Amino acid sequence: MIVGIIGSGGREHAICEKIYNSRRTKKIYCFPGNGGTAGIAENINIAPNNIIELKKFILKKKIDLVIVGPEQPLVDGIVDNLSKSNIKVFGPSKIASQLEGSKIFTKDICKKYNIPTANFGIFKDKRSAIKFIKKTKLPIVVKADGLAAGKGVYICESIRSAENSINEIFNGKFGKAKNVLIEEFLKGEEMSYFIISDGKTFKKFQTAQDHKRVFEGDKGPNTGGMGCYSPSRLINKKIDKKILKRIINPTLKALKKLGTGYQGFLYAGLMIVKNNPYLIEYNVRMGDPECQTILPLLKNDFLDLIDSCCAGKLSKTPIKWKGKKSICVVLCSKGYPNKYKNVVKINNLHKILHTKNNFLFHGGTKLIKNNFFSNGGRVLNFVSLSKKFGVCRKNIFKSIKKLNWANGFFRKDIGHKVIK
């Protein structure tokens, strides 16, 4: 098969690697890809949101299957658009993608179908939002409605910080914001819960715990993700049952009532409070760095699995896992998530070798005249598998030490809740 992968981050490199290892893969195109995908696929300089040019290229090259990595093209309706031209594409419809595209859309579903979530208020202007927070118990959570690359969430412990957050959102820090969402603060522990669906049936697809804060000890501003481990330490049969009954099943039922099934990965960001799951938010694709953490654990031929979803035959495809644990540590450009130097040369990448249990996925990199340069805030993803989380992390630290990139930094405590 000829496969097209849309996106340019670590998630897309991990997907590309899995597709490359399939016996059925003849050729891979990445749009636009990165320095890592350049070694196993042909990178094409078309932006993920340029649907017209993507469609032209896909039809011209007779690409058999398209996998959409990032959220923006999904929310823009790329699946609907490509499907109209009989292009096989893996991902949810434009309507279903509103689960991520609009936090308010999701909250309305939660309200209608009694899905457990934080109490909330929706505000269209600064004045009414600030008036509300002055009457609300602290801490509170302030969120930008719409896409914000995982960064449009503030946990505010004072009125002043809440006011600043509201001002930043309405002043366009995360793009044009029509609404701000203010939620009660749920005290618990977060978990990422994934399913894969073909539009008729779905199957569970691992759990993980992301580390969003930039500094060790889970401090500092939110990022796109500094690292991750899988499976989550919180998952057990009782909680799993509650998640499916109270959150996943009602959500898929709601979408069917709206006239759309759900095909693709669905990522539920959950808060576990006293052994009960609450929905924080949905993402309509694999997370980043969760994807890099989870996919190396998968035994299945990934192309077979995706193809079975597109054919509506997921029910006949058992999903098998390696029975190991996985950790991902993200190496970032110094200064991230704020200002950082870009296009900085990365030496010694040839010293980091893929093995059976150790992987390197490129995030923000590009290849210039056979040299690798940084091209973003989250640059490289180091992943290791083992029976023990502690061994995973030690292996990653050895790899990062070999790289010795002066412009990078990383959190040394990823997985601190599962490593004593």
Number of independent structural domains in the chain? 4
CA 173 to chain centre: 20
Does 333 lie in the same domain as 234? Answer: no
User: Is 380 inside a domain boundary?
Assistant: yes
pLDDT, one tens digit per residue, over 44-53 is 999 999 999 9
User: Is 110 inside a domain boundary?
Assistant: no
The predicted model gives 188-200 an average pLDDT of: 96
Per-residue confidence (pLDDT) for residue 123, from 0 to 100: 87
The predicted model gives 148-163 an average pLDDT of: 78
The predicted model gives 299-309 an average pLDDT of: 97
The predicted model gives 85-94 an average pLDDT of: 98
The predicted model gives 371-382 an average pLDDT of: 97
User: Is 420 inside a domain boundary?
Assistant: no
Does 79 lie in the same domain as 11? Answer: yes
Please give, one letter per residue, the 3-state secondary structure of 199-228: CCCEEEEEEEEECCEEECCCEEEECCCCEE
Q: Of 281, 316, 351, at which residue does a domain stop?
A: 316
Q: Please report, for the domain that includes residue 355, its CATH number.
A: 3.90.600.10
User: Is 386 inside a domain boundary?
Assistant: yes
Does 172 lie in the same domain as 74? Answer: no
Per-residue confidence (pLDDT) for residue 148, from 0 to 100: 55
Q: Of 316, 351, 382, at which residue does a domain stop?
A: 316
pLDDT, one tens digit per residue, over 383-417 is 999 999 999 999 999 999 999 899 999 999 999 99
Gyration radius of the chain over CA positions? 21
Q: Of 128, 159, 184, at which residue does a domain stop?
A: 184
Structural domain boundaries enclosing 130:
119-184
Per-residue confidence (pLDDT) for residue 204, from 0 to 100: 97
pTM: predicted TM-score of the whole model, two decimal places? 0.92
Helix%, strand%, coil% for the chain, nearest 5: 30, 30, 40
User: Is 33 inside a domain boundary?
Assistant: yes
Does 124 lie in the same domain as 157? Answer: yes
Does 348 lie in the same domain as 306? Answer: no
Does 207 lie in the same domain as 307? Answer: yes
Q: Please report, for the domain that includes residue 42, its CATH number.
A: 3.40.50.20
pLDDT, one tens digit per residue, over 273-292 is 999 999 999 999 999 999 99
Contact 221, 213 (CB under 8 A): yes
Does 404 lie in the same domain as 332? Answer: yes
Contacts 24+ apart (CB under 8 A), 249-255: 250/109, 250/113, 250/114, 250/115, 251/99, 251/109, 251/113, 251/115, 251/282, 252/197, 252/202, 253/113, 254/109, 254/112, 254/113, 255/95, 255/96, 255/99
The predicted model gives 176-184 an average pLDDT of: 80
Give the CA angle between residues 231, 383, 37 to the nearest 5°.
120
Does 308 lie in the same domain as 337? Answer: no
Q: Is the pLDDT of residue 175 over 80?
A: no
Does 140 lie in the same domain as 228? Answer: no
Q: Please report, for the domain that includes residue 200, its CATH number.
A: 3.30.470.20
Q: Identify the CA nearest to 222 among candidates 298, 348, 336.
A: 336
The predicted model gives 80-87 an average pLDDT of: 97
Q: Is the pLDDT of residue 27 over 90?
A: yes
User: Is 244 inside a domain boundary?
Assistant: yes
- Distance (Å) of CA 406 to CA 75, 203, 334, 349, 375: 37, 43, 9, 13, 15
Task: Give me the chain's average pLDDT, please.
Answer: 94
What whole-number distance in Å separates Cα of residue 75 and Cα of residue 346? 34
CB crowding 92-106: b at 16 or more within 10 Å, else e: bbbbbbbbbbbbbbb
User: Is 107 inside a domain boundary?
Assistant: no
Q: Is the pLDDT of residue 145 over 80?
A: no
Q: Is the pLDDT of residue 151 over 60?
A: no
Does 293 lie in the same domain as 256? Answer: yes
Contacts 24+ apart (CB under 8 A), 254-257: 254/109, 254/112, 254/113, 255/95, 255/96, 255/99
Range with lowest mean pLDDT among 95-99, 167-171, 301-305, 315-319 = 167-171
Q: Is the pLDDT of residue 238 over 80?
A: yes
Per-residue confidence (pLDDT) for residue 149, from 0 to 100: 54
User: Is 43 inside a domain boundary?
Assistant: yes
More confident position, 224 or 179: 224
Per-residue confidence (pLDDT) for residue 67, from 0 to 100: 98
Does 193 lie in the same domain as 177? Answer: no
Per-residue confidence (pLDDT) for residue 104, from 0 to 100: 84
The predicted model gives 148-155 an average pLDDT of: 68
Does 304 lie in the same domain as 226? Answer: yes
